[in-house]
């Protein structure tokens, strides 16, 4: 049946691309508030996360995915599985191309995996960070990977192109039901989002190697009688030497991480937050299925062969 002007549209739109292409920043920009952890480090996102945008005409369910990576452990394999599930399940795919760097082998792997499962008319190639100069050759490299896909230039930093991107998405959505209540913006609980924000700020403050040894669990999340949200969280590392780095000299690093994370959570909740963080060692946690499930990566050990 053809869509009419008054028909309600809905669908799932997967944001895919290599690590640090700007998928989480785009999700936050489209939803209009922070729900995904963002840092300049790759692999800030480790699992799929929904962002729900509803109007009286449509409901867009954006699925933020991790970046495809060269798998070396059970965590990495789980991350790649999350990407592949999104390729199969979504109604529409937004391939986020980072204009600050040319297409590389991971982009080729991802575009090949995409073309095995989907047609290119189900893809919008989104040139992110389009405010950068001298990007013509970089665009050509990405376009060669997906020559038949619709393209658009955006900037999550300035907001350029976002209204037009939403129009392109709306045009391609099928008629469908309202999957979620109108006022719901994500499927995650606030404590899960808080854990992602703590991890993002931890990664942002640490050196190049250590961030990928970081996991976060929010042990307690409750609103006190005075309206302040109390959060107790644990930052896990793989080795005792890493624990000292996260704490820092005289506790300076953990205080900086705590302050940055608290401000991010306050922006999300629009409430005052008291954040209490501790650091623990969990040896080789990236290959421990039980621990991966504990920190919200359900099935990582089961799917990672």
Could you state, in order of their start, the residue ranges of all structural domains in the chain? 9-172, 190-303
**Stated pTM of the model:** 0.66
Encoded tokens for 87 = 């390729």
Mention the CATH class of domain 9-172: alpha beta
pLDDT (tens, 9 = 90+) of the chain, 305 residues, equals 344 456 899 999 999 888 777 888 888 888 876 545 443 444 444 456 778 888 999 999 998 876 665 555 556 665 666 667 777 788 999 999 988 888 888 888 888 888 887 888 899 999 987 776 567 788 899 999 999 999 999 988 888 899 999 999 999 999 999 988 887 777 666 777 788 889 888 988 886 656 667 888 888 888 888 889 999 999 999 888 889 999 999 999 999 999 999 998 898 788 899 999 999 999 888 888 788 878 776 554 344 43
* Residue 239, Cβ density class (10 Å: 0-12 exposed, 13-18 middle, ≥19 buried): middle
Task: Assign a CATH topology to domain 190-303.
Answer: GMP Synthetase; Chain A, domain 3 (3.30.300)
Torsion of CA 54, 57, 58, 59, to 10 degrees: 30
> pLDDT (tens digit, 9 = 90+) per residue, 19-31?
777 888 888 888 8
pLDDT at 132: 64
CB atoms within 10 A of CB 132: 13
């Amino acid at each position: 049946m053809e869509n009419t002007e008054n028909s309600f549209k809905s669908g799932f739109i997967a944001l895919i691309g290599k690590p640090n292409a700007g998928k989480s920043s785009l999700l936050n920009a489209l939803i209009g508030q922070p729900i995904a952890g963002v840092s300049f480090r790759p692999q800030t996102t480790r699992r799929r996360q929904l962002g729900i945008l509803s109007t009286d005409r449509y409901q867009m369910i954006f699925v933020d995915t991790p970046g495809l990576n060269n798998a070396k452990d059970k965590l990495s394999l789980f991350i790649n599985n999350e990407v592949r599930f999104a390729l199969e399940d979504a109604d529409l795919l937004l391939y986020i191309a980072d204009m600050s760097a040319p297409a590389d082998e991971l982009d080729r792997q991802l575009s090949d995996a995409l073309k095995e499962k989907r047609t290119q008319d189900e893809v919008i190639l989104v040139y992110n960070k389009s405010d950068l100069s001298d990007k013509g050759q970089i665009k050509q490299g990405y376009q060669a990977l997906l020559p038949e896909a619709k393209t658009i230039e955006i900037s999550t930093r300035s907001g350029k192109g976002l209204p037009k991107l939403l129009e392109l998405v709306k045009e391609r959505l099928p008629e469908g039901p309202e999957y979620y209540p109108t006022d719901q913006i994500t499927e995650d609980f606030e404590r899960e989002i808080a854990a992602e924000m703590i991890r993002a700020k931890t990664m942002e403050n640490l050196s190049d190697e250590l961030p990928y040894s970081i996991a976060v669990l929010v042990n307690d999340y409750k609103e006190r009688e005075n309206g302040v949200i109390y959060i107790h969280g644990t930052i896990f590392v793989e080795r005792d030497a890493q624990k000292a780095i996260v704490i820092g000299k005289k506790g300076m690093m953990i205080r900086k991480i705590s302050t940055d994370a608290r401000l991010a959570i306050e922006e999300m909740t629009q409430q005052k937050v008291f954040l209490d963080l501790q650091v623990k060692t969990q040896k080789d946690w990236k290959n421990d299925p039980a621990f991966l499930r504990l920190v919200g990566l359900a099935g990582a050990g089961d799917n990672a062969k």
